[in-house]
Structure 1
Amino acid sequence: MRSDGGGTSVQNRIDSGTFHGPVVMVGRVDRLILQVGAPMRIVGCGALAVLGLVCLLNAPELPPLRRLGIGPTLAGTALLGLAVALYVVLSVREAAVRRAEAAWLSEENLGRAADALARDLALQYAQDERLTQVNDPYPLDVDWTTVHGGGPGADIDSGSGTVGQLSIAAYFTRLPTRRLVVLGGAGAGKSILALRLAEELVRTRPPGSAAPVAVVVPLASWNPREGLIGWMGAQIAAAHPRACTPVRGAPAADVARRLIETQRVLPVLDGFDELPGELRADALEQLRASTSGRRPFVLTSREPEYRRHVRDGSVFDRTEIELRPLSTLALDRYLNPEGAADAKWAPVLRRLTSDSDDSPEVRRLRGVLGAPLMAGLAREAYGGSGTDPQELLAPGAFGTRRDVERHLLDAFLSVAYSASHDVRDRPGNWDPERARAWLAFLAARMKAGGEHEFAWWRLVEDVPRLLRTAALLPAFAVCCLAVSYGEYGTPWWDRWVGLSFVGGYAVLALVVLGCVHVFRTRPQNGPRQLRLPTGQEVRAGLRRGPNQASAALSVSALAFLWWLVLDYGGSTTAQFFGLVTVVVLWRMCRKPLKPLWSPADPSVAPSPRALLLADRRAAIRFGWLAYARDGEEYLPVELLGLSAAGLLLFWNTNGGQDIASIDTWIRTLGLAYLSCVLGSLVESAWFGFALARGHVALRGDLPRRLMAFLDDAHRRGVLRQSGGVYRFRHVELRDRLAAHATVQGDGEQSPTATRRARPVRRTAAVIVVLLLLAVGGAVARGPFVMAAAPGPRTQLPAACDLLAADLPRLTVDGRKLATGRQHCQAGEQSPFAPDVQVTMSALLYKREGTTGGPYRAALGSATRIGEIRRNLAAGSQSTADAGLGDQSVRMVGHSAQPRRTALETVPYEASFVVRVDNVLLSVTYAEEFATRDRVAEVARILTRNALRRAGLSDAVPSSENDERSLADVPRTRVPETDNRFAHYERRPARALHGAVWRAGERSYLWYLPYTYFVFRAPKHLHCPLRPEEVAKDTVGYSCGRVPEWERAGWVPKTSVEIRSRYCGSSCDSRETRDFLDRIPDHDRTDWREDDKDRTYYAIGSAADGTRYRTSMKRSWGLRDLDKGEDHAFLLWVRVEVPDDEAELAQKIVNDVHAQTARYETTPQ
């Protein structure tokens, strides 16, 4: 029978040449090597090599490589080189790992580890023995008796079995089997005796010898299902990590286990009785299996619990000793060391030492004080003034021995937190009742967990799982912020769920948090410390052949790949290999940086507070070295941080090629790493303690200033300090305090609750895993399939927003119309101000296929320039480089539309077309009566201001910061003659019927060629000449609204029809009849005559009955002052508008009537 390390016995037999059970043939029984399949390095490197050959041998047009901008020859060569370099590096690394394993398994290094462990334990045991106060004022003698020999040498001393004259270490070394079981009652001194044994064995052990190192290991927290040797190795490694690391990189737990297996460690197993009752049988079977082959050990236990499972010597070979109560002589020397007759304890001791006094209270007190623990507590409790130990013998005061023990425990605590102690330790100043309640909670927590020591970094186990998970939210939020800088396009799920890609990633982060919550195990992060590597360690690391070879090969491979990239690759390839370079360099620098943030050894810490401060300094200063951990699991937030960089890389090789600039990479990688730093801080021992301290303080279980309270309890003698941990003075004191408190079960669940919750946990695990696969797959698919996004400029304000601030400076009453976000038109709306027209387009281009956004913007710029040039008259000026952005063109000239009459003014217009990366900005400015220089300067100012408002200030030369603003450009003056303003009579309005225009009401002064009058109407009309109405001396116009302005709500659905006939000096009846016959529906119109000037008008509805209609017909004339000639005209006007806009029709007709009254002028 043998133990497999996990507590299960496996039987292998050979009967008559037949094997029963698994059999492994080995050359050495101390080291087993199992042959497995081909190493993964061969598979991985072979796959890379095959892929490289495929790239070299196949067609030159491979779509994935074409999309990355990498040629197949470059890709194949790079992959083959990478495969060879990777194979060499991995082979060298594997050889280094084998050598390192052989190094720490060597006899020399195991001996060094044993010596280091002995040095650490010598200091710890000396401190522990001093803190037990068993030597105060002098050593307290504890006698024992051999009760079971278990083999030869059992009766070592003269046959009496009483060997109190020997030290426990001398007695143990004289045992042939060196397998000792120490039995005794509660407080009999079993743990103290085990400590003395271990301390003397370690102290007398010569350095470099083969003698085992005695290690005291409390059994209370052991689960026998773990296996004794493996569990002990983990406990020793956690308490002494530095001693168990003889060679850098050696696994401390494996080293400790190896020390146990090679009998370089003597297990001193303290507290078999403190194991749960249902586990003791399994624990004893584990002990028997793990110590087979007559391995030495020491075991302590209360006798009843031990005898219940070990009834005879057939279980295993051992020697049992039983601790005897203190003799009355030893008690007298301990409580009254000077032997004074008037001492406080003298009357009590006289009764206890008297053979004639056999009263119940004396027998009871003799039994209680026979335990060294109770003797020590009695001396402490009754050591001050105002106390009298004779109350312990008061008749009827105590009913049982247990009552006396409880009284002594309570008296000790009362003295510890009495007023005298508060005076002595004024910084504490704790309320005694609250202090006892806090200690009771601490004791109950330690007892429930089977712990003898309070390790402050394990207090976080009391924090609810949900709260511990929620502490990671800031790190996850920063990770989502890192993804937001990627400027991802519209996700593929947008058609079903209106959630951005960053929102989808945030959902993924929440699902990962759910996985953390469901799968999280008990926190095991111990404290760390800052430690600079010594010069010897640095030199040794540099001298290691594998390290030099790996560094040389890595640098050489990177140099070769960068040579290929710089000669043949594009920017995307450079970014990819830049990321690869960062990863490789980090992997190379990881090991040299690792010692800076190394695990601390609690056993050699000056105090728990010093250990806490050291961990806080390490976490804050070097928490960014979280990735330097070797052989440990990465945190989920770190994996998310890596995914942020990976998503950006995939997006950059697909639709986001124009977006991911170096700034994007810096921000994304920086924030991703910051999230990892925050995650590592949250997982640090210091943060866990801070979180747990706040949690238990809010519940009232422990004080907010917990470390100060523990320091104070240590000064009062309630707690003992051992390195970086605290212990209660004795387990009985812990148990007495724990009887008055319960631990709330909102931290880790009990085994029973865990079993009950297991189905729920499994269901939740399945759900979160499915969610993780679904959401993670959706997010991972995003960068490959989502539409391309604009870049490198990712956003642009609306065109009208770029113009809004400048329009009031150019117009009296300006108004703008947006056509989407990209186009904006604006103009003057005041009827008596020169016309101003501004057109602005702001376009943001994105990649289409292999055509990048900047190139498409350049194509758009050429198209726009061509459109503007076609609309300008011959002789227009054009400047190819206007000094703005990456490309800019300025064009200034008249419109190509010819001037038909002297009253028509064809204004100058200036246009700027500017491209900045993938942004195309087009500005056109035209102003009635303005000079060429004015429109050119105003257009440039508008363009410059728009670039700045669009966040493109870098496209504006710094020399233009001092140029004039719009307010500094001289205003345009309206000429006094030969324009529409000069021919409009601003006379008092006279209405034929209904409303008239107000003075500043928005409208436009219209002059239609060959009508010889100016009238007011809405500006946004289109008035083409009707060819069918054109005849000799007759013109006709049909004005309708412009649809885009009607949709904007600026002009209703308006129709204005005008027909004018020139009759010469007068109009005869034939001309009049002919003119009237051509008027639509003339005879069916109900005309009304205006009595003042023979003008006729009509009011009614249009043919469809849904629109308001008003008409006017009249004759009018003008006199040519230069020639003295009269000119007569026939005029018909009809206006149709919606019923609710009747006043608009009335205003137009009334204004035409007012402007065609006879007046004298020079016809144009």
Structure 2
Amino acid sequence: MTAETGDAGRTENAMSGGRVRGSVIQARNIGRISFAGQPKDDSRERLEAAKARLAEEVRRQWEGEVAAQGLRRPEPIRLQWANTRRAVAVRTATAPPTPAGQAGPTRATTSSVPSDALGRCGDLDGLVQAFRTLPQGHLVMLGERGSGKTVWVMLLTLGLLGSYEPGDPVPVLLTASSWESGNTWVPGVEHLRTWLARRLVEEYPFLADKEAYGAGVAQRLVTGGHVFLLLDGLDEMSEALHAPALGELDDSGQELLVVTCRVAEYERAVERSGRVLSRAVVKEMLPIGVRQAEGFLIADRPWEDTRWQSLLAELRDRPDFPDLPLSRALTSPLMVALARVIYAPPAKDPRELLSLPDLASVERHLLTAFLPAVYRPRPAPPGGSGRVPASYGLPEARGWLGFIARHMARNGTHDLEWWQVAGAVPGWVAGLVFGVVSGLMFGFIGAAAGGPVIGLVFGVSFGSAGFVVQAVPSRRPAPARVEIRLRGTVRVFALRFTFGCVTGMALGFGFELPSWAQLVLGAPFGLAVALHAWLRAPSDATKVASPGLALEQDRVSTLVLGVSFALPFGLTFGTVFAFTDPRVSAWPTLGPVGELTFNTVFGLAGALAGWTVGHLSYGRVGRFAYSAVGAVVSGVVFPPADDPGFAFGTGIAFGVACGLVVMLGRPWGAFVFAHALLALTGRLPWRLMRFLQDAHRRGVLRQAGAVFQFRHARVRDRLTSHRDDDL
């Protein structure tokens, strides 16, 4: 990092990308002692192969995001930063204490950091060379909202990757918003290395491929010092976790670390924890100069377009130029970026900003005008062939984005996760709809099988459970990151098939089926259990996590899970309905209770099946709810069918209904269900993912792995507070 110290201790730095080599990188090998012996050659080769693929995919991911944000059209804003003067870094011998209430010298350990003139963030060579000068490889970059921290860390990541060579740690940029408490009952954050290994697999699913890289390769990358963590947005974590996170970062032993955070949040974290990152140099983003802003505003304009040059030249002649609201606004990279988009059309005149009375008015105007600028009408492409990009009007886009922003604000999150869309529907609404539909669906099946009373039992049982699992909050499963692969699954498939066959035959015995029917029932159970052997970790290294990919992968997993329940449940119901008469069962019964009698063994088998459904799809609440349902609907006694064909037809209907219940509890199924309700009321578009991807292309959203985020938090906050478009 090159720096130049001015009169007041101000340091201006140029950051860009060279080679991160030498003592900063290689120091991780000093003092390391291994008691496990040298690893096998193939293990080392697998590890290096995983690192090489990881480096390539991280590079591809962030190069795509930089391109999507237009940061190189033609170059980024020239940013500047300085050693912080705040009491958030270690005290050094060269930085004497400062009396309270006075501005003091830089308090970060920067005496060994050389100086140089200010440079662009886009100059990647200087960016990495700047990082190489850090004494211990730890850096914290502070900044106010919209100061350019995220752009800075993205370009630093790409600069480091540009010089990556085998043996170097792989730079990986992650957002801190997903780093939460690892234990619901104990305050604090998840261990950094545990979280980092998990996030690596979630962001880059190919690392879970045991055949290619061995078991636990993500954990080995982390614990072996092969990952250089760049953590963006420490302030985006829950405020209660800021101080514990700071302590965990300092204690983690991470050898190379970059953290970005807002100024006030970092100061409070230091104050509450009573500690700092002991090895870190702490920098702070500075306001940009108006000349830097002007250079960015005109960089993509034709030569004859001199609107900004003439306006700013005229203002510079005024004695109050530095204090003008527009001048102050143009010191914020965010406001400059918004102004460039808003005033791109030649018909738009930036002089209208001069009429605004203060800085807050200028910022409010730019934040409000951003969406109309990016959603301005565009001419249709010539011809009629090919897929035409989606076209969204401003009112509908503002309404949908406003709803999304308010939902995120209520949840206290900066991440737009598609699997959390279900939380946008009130629990009682989702429970009422799901309960009524479930009750009617299973009620008709029960009535067809055993008459009105049995139909009522089925309907009330499934309807009540459906309401409870949707209305009562419970931890749901996370999206599955899998794909269907047949190669190399023969042994696992055979073992699972055998286990399923034994389970099916045991169940047939419990339901008192004839011997031949027990054997027949084993096959569908075996197939249902064995199907999951084909769900493997993605092996294609080109598939980096994205919202669309995560949705696709969980959809595959959900459909396979639904089939694996529908097939055995449906055939079991049909077989038992056709060939078993519970009225003459050898198993003990309870009742009669009114007109109903319950078979205890049948009920026990149903409770076990219901527990499995609840466990895999609905969490703790689902386990209890569907265990009770399974016990009731399996244990209730009604006569067998006269026609085996009718019995199996009813069984198929029952199986399909059970499969739907299972799927609607999984992330993709819950998303489809909640999204349909929200789209029916106009709160979200029917093709939500297409709309979000379009918003990403327009620069409203940014992509961070499998989630979207608003590219500018202040735009999100403006949408949250702008209630005129409520539906």
The bucket for the TM-score relative to the shorter chain is: 0.5 to 0.7
Q: How far off is 1:388 after superposition?
A: 1.8
Partner residue, 2:126:
167
Q: Does 1:227 align with 2:227?
A: no
Residue of 176, 182, 204 corresponding to 1:218: 176
TM-score (norm 1): 0.44
Partner residue, 2:279:
317
- 8 Å contact from structure 2 (residues 663, 669) kept in 1: yes
Q: Does 1:512 align with 2:473?
A: no
Q: Does 1:624 align with 2:566?
A: no
Whole-Å Cα distance in 1 between the matches of residues 497 and 643 of structure 2? 31
Pick which of 341-350 and 509-518 moved more: 509-518
Q: Does 1:417 align with 2:417?
A: no
Matching of residues 201-350 of structure 1 within 5 Å: 201-206=160-165, 209=167, 211-219=169-177, 222-223=180-181, 225-229=188-192, 230-247=194-211, 256=218, 259-289=221-251, 291=252, 293=253, 295-310=255-270, 316-337=278-299, 343-350=306-313
Whole-Å Cα distance in 1 between the matches of residues 62 and 394 of structure 2? 32
- DSSP-derived class of the 2:205 partner: coil
Q: Does 1:521 align with 2:480?
A: no
Q: Percent identity?
A: 24
Whole-Å Cα distance in 1 between the matches of residues 520 and 636 of structure 2? 16
Q: How far off is 1:602 after superposition?
A: 12
Deviations along 1:318-349, one digit per CA (max 9) or x if unpaired, are 11112233334433332234895871111233
- 8 Å contact from structure 1 (residues 202, 214) kept in 2: no
- DSSP-derived class of the 1:266 partner: strand
Matching of residues 484-883 of structure 1 within 5 Å: 500=453, 503-513=456-466, 515-517=468-470, 519-526=472-479, 531-533=484-486, 537-538=487-488, 541-542=489-490, 550=495, 572-580=514-522, 582-584=524-526, 586-587=528-529, 589-595=530-536, 604=544, 608=548, 623-625=562-564, 633-635=615-617, 666-667=648-649, 670-704=652-686, 706-707=688-689, 709-720=691-702, 725-741=707-723
Whole-Å Cα distance in 2 between the matches of residues 732 and 486 of structure 1? 58
- 8 Å contact from structure 2 (residues 147, 332) kept in 1: yes
Q: How far off is 1:178 after superposition?
A: 1.7
Counterpart of 1:696 in structure 2: which amino acid? L
- 8 Å contact from structure 2 (residues 63, 158) kept in 1: yes
Q: How far off is 1:421 after superposition?
A: 7.4
Q: How far off is 1:419 after superposition?
A: 4.8
Q: How far off is 1:380 after superposition?
A: 1.3
Whole-Å Cα distance in 1 between the matches of residues 660 and 501 of structure 2? 35
Counterpart of 1:227 in structure 2: which amino acid? E
Deviations along 1:777-796, one digit per CA (max 9) or x if unpaired, are xxxxxxxxxxxxxxxxxxxx
Q: 1:583 to 1:135 in 2, by over 3 A?
A: same
Whole-Å Cα distance in 1 between the matches of residues 567 and 319 of structure 2? 71
Q: 1:603 to 1:378 in 2, by over 3 A?
A: farther
- 8 Å contact from structure 2 (residues 613, 626) kept in 1: no
Residue of 172, 175, 188 corresponding to 2:147: 188
The structure that has the greater radius of gyration is 1
Whole-Å Cα distance in 2 between the matches of residues 506 and 631 of structure 1? 18
Q: Does 1:383 align with 2:320?
A: no
Whole-Å Cα distance in 1 between the matches of residues 275 and 561 of structure 2? 56
Q: Does 1:140 align with 2:95?
A: no
Counterpart of 1:398 in structure 2: which amino acid? P
- DSSP-derived class of the 2:55 partner: helix
Whole-Å Cα distance in 1 between the matches of residues 514 and 188 of structure 2? 54
Over aligned residue pairs, what C-alpha RMSD do you find? 5.2
Structure with the higher strand share, 1 or 2: 1
Counterpart of 2:333 in structure 1: which amino acid? P
Q: How far off is 1:382 after superposition?
A: 1.3
Whole-Å Cα distance in 1 between the matches of residues 501 and 666 of structure 2? 37
Partner residue, 2:110:
154
- 8 Å contact from structure 1 (residues 228, 287) kept in 2: no
Deviations along 1:800-846, one digit per CA (max 9) or x if unpaired, are xxxxxxxxxxxxxxxxxxxxxxxxxxxxxxxxxxxxxxxxxxxxxxx
Residue of 432, 439, 458 corresponding to 2:420: 458
Whole-Å Cα distance in 1 between the matches of residues 117 and 84 of structure 2? 8
Partner residue, 2:65:
128
Q: How far off is 1:631 after superposition?
A: 13
Matching of residues 1067-1086 of structure 1 within 5 Å: none
Instruction: Name the structure, 1 or 2, with higher relative contact order (CA <8 Å, separation 6+).
Output: 2
Number of residue pairs matched?
606
Q: 1:723 to 1:186 in 2, by over 3 A?
A: closer
Structure with the higher helix share, 1 or 2: 2
Whole-Å Cα distance in 2 between the matches of residues 313 and 433 of structure 1? 48
Give unpaired runs (5+ residues) of structure 2.
Answer: 1-32, 93-107, 182-186, 569-611
Residue of 192, 196, 200 corresponding to 2:159: 200
Q: 1:527 to 1:213 in 2, by over 3 A?
A: same
Counterpart of 1:272 in structure 2: which amino acid? L
Q: How far off is 1:212 after superposition?
A: 3.4
Whole-Å Cα distance in 2 between the matches of residues 599 and 691 of structure 1? 30
Deviations along 1:51-77, one digit per CA (max 9) or x if unpaired, are xxxxxxxxxxxxxxxxxxxxxxxxxxx
Whole-Å Cα distance in 2 between the matches of residues 651 and 331 of structure 1? 75
Q: 1:468 to 1:204 in 2, by over 3 A?
A: farther
Whole-Å Cα distance in 2 between the matches of residues 136 and 509 of structure 1? 57
Whole-Å Cα distance in 1 between the matches of residues 69 and 377 of structure 2? 24
Deviations along 1:867-890, one digit per CA (max 9) or x if unpaired, are xxxxxxxxxxxxxxxxxxxxxxxx
Pick which of 375-384 and 678-687 moved more: 678-687
Counterpart of 2:465 in structure 1: which amino acid? V
- 8 Å contact from structure 1 (residues 444, 743) kept in 2: no
Whole-Å Cα distance in 2 between the matches of residues 585 and 525 of structure 1? 25
Deviations along 1:179-218, one digit per CA (max 9) or x if unpaired, are 11001222111011111122333343335x3513423223
- DSSP-derived class of the 1:182 partner: strand
Deviations along 1:421-458, one digit per CA (max 9) or x if unpaired, are 79999976655344333322222323443444433332
Give unpaired runs (5+ residues) of structure 1.
Answer: 1-27, 32-101, 489-498, 746-1164
Whole-Å Cα distance in 2 between the matches of residues 264 and 458 of structure 1? 32
- 8 Å contact from structure 1 (residues 444, 742) kept in 2: no
Deviations along 1:680-720, one digit per CA (max 9) or x if unpaired, are 44235554344333433455533455455445544544334
- 8 Å contact from structure 1 (residues 525, 685) kept in 2: yes
Counterpart of 2:62 in structure 1: which amino acid? Y
- 8 Å contact from structure 2 (residues 427, 472) kept in 1: no
- DSSP-derived class of the 2:174 partner: strand
- 8 Å contact from structure 2 (residues 497, 527) kept in 1: no
Counterpart of 1:624 in structure 2: which amino acid? V
